[in-house]
Amino acid sequence: MKIPVGILGAGMVGQQYMALLKNHPWFEVRYIAASPRSAGKKFSEAVAGRCHFGGIAEVFGNIIVADANDVSKAAAASKAGDCAFVFCGLEMPNDELKILEASYAAAGIPVISNASAHRWTADVPVVVAEVNHSHLDIIPAQRKAHGWDKGFITVKPNCSIQSYTTPVYALMQAGYEVKRLIVTTLQAVSGAGYPGVPSLDIIDNIVPYIGGEEEKSETEPLKILGSIENGVFKKADQPKISAHCNRVPVTDGHTACVSIEFGAQKPSIAEIKKIWTEFRSLPQELELPMAPVRPIIVRDETDRPQPRKDRDADKGMAVTVGRIRPCNVFDIRFTGLSHNTIRGAAGGGVLNAELLKHKGYLG
Amino acid sequence: MKIPVGILGAGMVGQQYMALLKNHPWFEVRYIAASPRSAGKKFSEAVAGRCHFGGIAEVFGNIIVADANDVSKAAAASKAGDCAFVFCGLEMPNDELKILEASYAAAGIPVISNASAHRWTADVPVVVAEVNHSHLDIIPAQRKAHGWDKGFITVKPNCSIQSYTTPVYALMQAGYEVKRLIVTTLQAVSGAGYPGVPSLDIIDNIVPYIGGEEEKSETEPLKILGSIENGVFKKADQPKISAHCNRVPVTDGHTACVSIEFGAQKPSIAEIKKIWTEFRSLPQELELPMAPVRPIIVRDETDRPQPRKDRDADKGMAVTVGRIRPCNVFDIRFTGLSHNTIRGAAGGGVLNAELLKHKGYLG
Amino acid sequence: MKIPVGILGAGMVGQQYMALLKNHPWFEVRYIAASPRSAGKKFSEAVAGRCHFGGIAEVFGNIIVADANDVSKAAAASKAGDCAFVFCGLEMPNDELKILEASYAAAGIPVISNASAHRWTADVPVVVAEVNHSHLDIIPAQRKAHGWDKGFITVKPNCSIQSYTTPVYALMQAGYEVKRLIVTTLQAVSGAGYPGVPSLDIIDNIVPYIGGEEEKSETEPLKILGSIENGVFKKADQPKISAHCNRVPVTDGHTACVSIEFGAQKPSIAEIKKIWTEFRSLPQELELPMAPVRPIIVRDETDRPQPRKDRDADKGMAVTVGRIRPCNVFDIRFTGLSHNTIRGAAGGGVLNAELLKHKGYLG
Amino acid sequence: MKIPVGILGAGMVGQQYMALLKNHPWFEVRYIAASPRSAGKKFSEAVAGRCHFGGIAEVFGNIIVADANDVSKAAAASKAGDCAFVFCGLEMPNDELKILEASYAAAGIPVISNASAHRWTADVPVVVAEVNHSHLDIIPAQRKAHGWDKGFITVKPNCSIQSYTTPVYALMQAGYEVKRLIVTTLQAVSGAGYPGVPSLDIIDNIVPYIGGEEEKSETEPLKILGSIENGVFKKADQPKISAHCNRVPVTDGHTACVSIEFGAQKPSIAEIKKIWTEFRSLPQELELPMAPVRPIIVRDETDRPQPRKDRDADKGMAVTVGRIRPCNVFDIRFTGLSHNTIRGAAGGGVLNAELLKHKGYLG
């Protein structure tokens, strides 16, 4: 018996969730809700002409799309055994979405969200499964504070940080203080959703700006690396991060060029490679279905990682790093790459759901 | 009466020179020399099927290409009044080219080179016209040391540094110590010449490595910002530079994301914009034909500079900067952009030639 | 004294008009009208963040944008000597635009339109200046039929047909019957306006469909090649055209692969090249400012025309053809290319305006 | 016990074969031979820096590469049970390769070739498995004519024709005469191998010419659709084909826009869809491992097929067709798409090998 799952959103993110869940061993999509203009239609009709993933219309096409604003529909589906929790990929203003996601939680429906609305809510965990799985244990406190019974809210961080946050964490966990990072990202157009970036803006071009992305890149890792105190999150003090975020003519895969300054203890290049190659975390120990076997893949070629060659590594869930070398200004530098819509979005969400199920929060 | 000019090389760089010199008010291309396999052919035949610039085959097509290895041919052309000096865009191993360029100089033919062969020769100036035009005054010492009469060698730096070296210099000249830079470049494929980067490597992709480029980016600015002592160049001590160089799917225009650490005195963002906007140098004072009116163009839009929109600013000779903002780790950061085959290659060479003519070194 | 011109539309097409008219010897933009949400703002503010052409914000930035739906504003501007006629680049439903353009004409303001609204209105000429300039002489009949005094409407055809219509016409004019054409177009993304084609649809991809484009490609040439009978246009009977229209990852420049079947008389390849090379028409005789010197440029290289290398030929106004060779199924085949937003849109409109001025319809 | 296989060539095609054979149920790569400069090295070293497929260096990296010109090496491997037959993906002049492939056959080693060298050899079959599998039965006659014992040569056709040859054949097989085709192809850069098309030629550009491709496109289908008479192939008389071949900025997947003229009997659009949807051939009946379940996939969306969305359909082995509609000039038109390096190259070769094994020619 698989756990019945709802998807909020029929755009790129919602569809990516469906694509990843088509054959999932634990979860089964039984409920889809989206904007009012899609509501009432069969999913196949709602996405006609903007279906981005092969096979999902065939598998989920007959599900009647509900109105995502109508939480009572989801509650009824939950009662009927069709929606134990939801993945949220809705695109709406943060202030509205904040309220809506809380309504789902209040209605007893856990929300695993891709949106940024609740990332800075004091008791909502922002989770990268291999880094801060322990943050999920704030859920009892969160439930209690809000008077929620079974519902809760967890979110995943911005896609732009996932190409370096896990590698940086692995070094910290190995005992090295990471004081400062200067990061330049080269981000794929799929990060902007659909229709997203106009082709006239990006063919033969670079756009050196993505609204809000640098702020998220500089602050979200500090929550992820932070601690729980009195039922709320406390940001870590470091590393200090400076991010330059660029949009590049690449479909999928965010590349990050990173310079790191360590504390007094500085690992050698060889040690760093060893730490990253051997890094494993709870999702790997549990052999969760969506977990990459090796969360960090170290490549020794001079010219890797590259988006087209490395983004799909281990189902799109591994972070590939390369060009690990001394930095002329800080201590070391490297290039990291991850699949922004899988590792950085829906795949990360599914992995978090697997963790939540393991920890017993899903039913 | 225009000064007769020779071009060494019939590839991308040589052709770019011809394109820029088609209607030059001071210089006239009258001599072309290239590899042995082109020698003896009309220029139009030599470049059939690989002519990258409109109009040059029409204007220069009937010139019979000489063998660039045969310096006596150039010497004869010089004597005949057809080649007062040469622009060198040859592609050959640095050790061979070093000797060849010196042979031209020894034969009385000044060499203004795009190649990297002589960039670290102790008495050869690496010149960005607006930054270190004074370095050209090493020429008498250079001539004397080598026993050269009229010949000499000057070179231009790597294209990767031109999107930030002039802005950084302008800040230093305004009295601010620049201690450290971390730079990530997003470099156009034309920087690799022709055929250069295979399309299979760059469509929907990023290549996070360009052989030798990071080393050049980190060291050449120090020679440019250095001083002349006892007839040779002495590198500046700072700024310390760390460069991450990437190849991106853009035809022309190198983008650089730069974080700067100043000394104790730190300019405000407003001051920096003022310094850059008002920056002028000798080429502007002299109103040299190839000189941009404003060497640095500051754009205030949130999303500029962009290669396709800004590379051609002021004949491709201006550096466009934008996104000037505080850096979370260092002091400030910005994005710079310049046209790599014009400002960063042939256009920079022509501007240097104009300076040399003004200073009386060309005849 | 230049003729004062109005531009309807502040999107890509309207901006392209402004870019072409910045330094026009006869026309001067003094009136800009656009959608209600732009109305009342300075042009520079109205296009902030979506200004596609360098320099136009600087030149026209202070013009206060009017509401294009408010024809009385334009009439007042006309009376004040600021708007002798308008170029229309509005994007709105055809039925609404049809009425709006007629209102301008009724108000005494000639409309030279880029839109498709009136292309099949019986007495509105669809003009490619070098092909059917004589069609402009329907204007007196058009005015009379509608009771318009000084106003009238002329339009330009779809951009997709401009890479082959003039070459085909030149052959017909030389006495060769052209019976059938099979055409495949590879169309640039700028043809879809801005934001237009999402980058996710076109990076590393081809879209083999453009809504309505094939129908336009197959029928509009027949009106252009048709005749005037009793004050309305009568379509030509041939050539029969079959069009396959594709969107490709190119910014500007529509490529067309064309196979032609002639009547009994069949020109040789050499004759075709001669006819095309020597083709001149009224705009060339009059040396109109926007007219290309040679409307058709024949290239003999095996691999031309190419969008990036040939689209800007003669200010973007020439059609470049190449690969003229026998067809294995029909008689001959060739590849044609033209700049879709210049020759195929605003540039064609300006050239038509120049013709109209010459013919005395604009004042 | 798997059949041991040799691969001739370590470039793109050879590597693509290895990628497809990594987990093949019948075949196992045990021998690799390539150019003299790779010979003697481990495969992983021979392809360092130009390995295009993930995992092949890991699986085949320790195989010592032989010199492909040294047939005796292959003969020894054959004797040792390491090379029952070879897939040939060598790139060398056709006249040399013709002799070399014949030498392998003479040495008792069947050659299944991707090269064009033997495509017009009178007794060598050019095979698209679903179309002319019966042509493989020329092998006994071929062996006899050349005095070959176990060796033979079969080839696969040019990649450019595979997006329409099977659909056209399916219509002929259903009883409809296909008289003429006009085809325009939009071909991916991987068709040119590696390094292949320079990025400067294809970013923001189209190249309307591919050397030799149109001739191959027009003639090879006639051999494939031909018959065997007296031990040699006789070309079919029709369809007459005219091909316009273009290179486009797409990594993989050749698109073809096709107009078809039938004989007197003309199928309806509905019949065509039915014929294509139901088309099955010997590889499907035999359920060969590499055979697509449905050789032709009909899509009803208005804007399909598209390279990025459809090239990987059914392991990259299906041809996807769409936009089936009446032609304004001929009878019908459609767009076809296939993966040029899988269906059109190595995948087609593997499928042919599977057929050959089934027919008993490989052991």
pLDDT at C266: 98
D180/C308 Cβ within 8 A? no
Choose, out of D178, D183, D186, D204, the residue to mutate when testing the contact with C (most C CBs < 10 Å). D204
What pLDDT band is residue B226 in, cutting at 50, 70 and 90? very high
What number is the average pLDDT over the span D296-310? 96
Q: In chain C, which residue's Cα lies nearest the Cα of A249?
A: C203
Q: Do C250 and D327 touch (CB under 8 A)?
A: no
Residue B363 has pLDDT above 80, yes or no: no
Look at residue D59 in the predicted model and tell me its pLDDT: 94
Q: Which residues of B touch A243 (CB under 8 A)?
A: 328
> Which stretch of DSSP H or E encloses residue B44?
helix B43-46
Catalytic residue set of C: 159, 254
Which among D24, D159, D245, D339 is annotated as catalytic? D159
Chain-chain contact of B301 with C204 (C-beta, under 8 angstroms):
no
What are B129-147's pLDDT values in tens digits? 999 999 999 999 999 999 9
Residues on chain B bordering chain D, Cβ-to-Cβ distance under 8 angstroms = 52, 189-190, 194-204, 249-251
- Cβ distance of C241 and D328 shorter than 8 Å: yes
Q: Place A274 in a pLDDT band, splitting at 50, 70 and 90.
A: very high
Residue of C nearest to D301 (CA): C209
Q: For residue A115, what pLDDT is reported?
A: 95
| Nearest-angstrom CA–CA distance, A355 and A361 | 9
Q: Residue A363: pLDDT above 90?
A: no
In C, which residues are within 8 Å of D329 by CB distance? 180-182, 240-242
Chain A hits for C251, CB-CB cut-off 8 Å, are 200, 203-204
Task: Evaluate if residue D363 carries a pLDDT over 80.
Answer: no
A257 is a catalytic site residue: no
User: Can you give the pLDDT at residue D55?
Assistant: 86
Of the residues A16, A201, A203, A252, the best mutation for testing chain C's interface (the one with the most C CB atoms within 10 Å of its CB) is A203
Q: What is the dihedral of CA C49, C52, C58, C60, to 10 degrees?
A: -100
Q: How many CB pairs under 8 A join A and B?
A: 129
Chain D residues with CB under 8 Å of B204 CB are: 251
Q: What values do phi and psi take at D210, rounded to 5?
A: -135, 115
CB contacts, 8 Å: C203 with chain A: 189, 199, 202-203, 249-251
Cβ pair D251:A303 closer than 8 A:
no
- pLDDT reading at B64 higher than 90: yes
Residue A20 predicted with pLDDT over 90: yes
| pTM for the structure as a whole | 0.96
Dihedral, CA of residue A71, residue A72, residue A74 and residue A76, to nearest 10? 170
Average pLDDT of the segment spanning C314-323? 98
Q: What is the pLDDT of residue C73?
A: 97
Q: What is the mean pLDDT of chain B?
A: 97
Closest chain D residue to the Cα of A312, Cα to Cα: D54
- Please indicate whether, in this complex, the C-beta atoms of A49 and D303 are within 8 angstroms of each other: yes
Q: How far is B203 from chain C (nearest CA, A)?
A: 7
Calculate how close chain B gets to D187, using CA atoms only, in Å: 13
B204, B312, B315: best to mutate for the C interface, most C CBs within 10 A: B204
Of B52, B196, B199, nearest to D196 by CB-CB distance is: B199
Q: What is the mean pLDDT of the segment spanning D275-288? A: 98
pLDDT above 90 as % of chain A? 97
B244, B252, B299, best to mutate vs chain A, most A CBs in 10 Å: B244
How many cross-chain Cβ pairs, C to D, lie less than 8 Å apart? 129
Both structure tokens of A179: 């004081």
The pLDDT assigned to D49 comes to 83
Residues of C engaging A, defined by a Cβ cutoff of 8 Å: 52, 189-190, 194-204, 249-251
- Residue A149 token pair: 């019974």
Interior angle at CA B254, CA B248 and CA B257, nearest 5:
90
- What tens digit of pLDDT does each residue of C98-141 get? 999 999 999 999 999 999 999 999 999 999 999 999 999 999 99
pLDDT of residue C54: 85
A199/C201 touch (CB, cutoff 8 Å), yes or no = yes
Measure CB to CB from residue C251 to each of A52, A195, A203 and give the nearest one: A203
Q: Which residue of chain C has the CA closest to B313?
A: C54
Q: Give catalytic status of residue B254 as yes or no.
A: yes
pLDDT-based confidence at residue A54 (cuts at 50, 70, 90): confident
Q: Residues D225-251, buried b or exposed e (16+ Cβ, 10 A)?
A: bbebeeeebeeeebbbbbbbbbbbbbb
For the segment D60-90, what is each residue's pLDDT rounded down to a tens digit? 999 999 999 999 999 999 999 999 999 999 9
CA dihedral D47→D50→D54→D58, nearest 10 degrees, is: 20
Give the minimum alpha-carbon distance from A187 to chain D in angstroms, rounded to a whole number.
19
Tell if the CB–CB gap between B203 and D198 is shorter than 8 Å. no
Cβ count near A61 (within 10 Å): 15
Q: Which of B199-208, B242-251, C40-49 has the lowest mean pLDDT?
A: C40-49
Contacts D199 to B, Cβ<8 Å: 189, 196-199, 201-203, 249
% pLDDT > 70, chain C = 100
- Three-state SS string across B128-173, please? CHHHHHHHHHHHHHHHHHHCCCCCCEEECCCHHHCCCHHHHHHHHH
pLDDT of residue D253: 98
ipTM: 0.95
**Residue C314 distance to chain B (closest CA, Å):** 11
Which pLDDT value is given to residue C109?
A: 98
Sign of CA dihedral B121, B122, B123, B126: positive
Residue of A48, A54, A204 lying closest to D204 (CB–CB) = A204
The rounded distance, in Å, linking the Cα atoms of A195 and A200 is: 13
**Residues in chain B closer than 8 A to A309 (CB atoms):** 205
Q: Which residue of B has its CA nearest to C205?
A: B204
User: Among candidates A189, A202, A212, which has minimal Cα distance to A93?
Assistant: A212
Q: In the complex, which subunits touch D with 3 or more CB pairs below 8 angstroms?
A: A, B, C
Contact C251 B308 (CB under 8 A): yes
Please report which confidence band the pLDDT of residue A55 belongs to, taking 50, 70 and 90 as the band edges: confident
Instruction: Read off the pLDDT of each residue in A10-39 and give the average, rounded to a whole number.
Output: 96
Nearest-CB residue to B189 (from D190, D195, D199): D199
* Percentage with pLDDT > 70 across chain D: 100
Q: Searching chain B, which residue's CA lies closest to the CA of residue C313?
A: B54
The tens digit of pLDDT for each residue in D190-227 reads: 999 999 999 999 999 999 999 999 999 999 999 999 99
Q: Across chain C, what does the average pLDDT equal?
A: 97
**Could you read off the pLDDT of A129-145 as tens digits, one per residue?**
999 999 999 999 999 99
Which residues in chain B have Cβ-Cβ distances shorter than 8 Å to A323?
A: 208-209
- Run of H or E including A96: helix A94-106
State whether D251 and A308 contact (CB < 8 Å): yes
Residues of B in Cβ contact (< 8 Å) with A308: 203-205
> pLDDT tens digits, residue range C207-234?
999 999 999 999 999 999 999 999 999 9
Least Cα separation, residue A292 to chain D (angstroms): 16
Which pLDDT score is estimated for C264?
97
pLDDT per residue over D155-167, tens digit each?
999 998 999 999 9
Q: Which of B187, B204, B235, B335 to mutate to test the interface with A (most CBs of A within 10 A)?
A: B204
Cβ within 8 Å of residue B226, ≥6 positions away: B233, B234, B235, B236
**pLDDT tens per residue across span C263-305:** 999 999 999 999 999 999 999 999 999 999 999 999 999 999 9
Residues of C with CB below 8 A from B48's CB?
Answer: 301
Q: Do D249 and C248 touch (CB under 8 A)?
A: yes
Which residue out of B83, B88, B159, B245 is catalytically annotated? B159
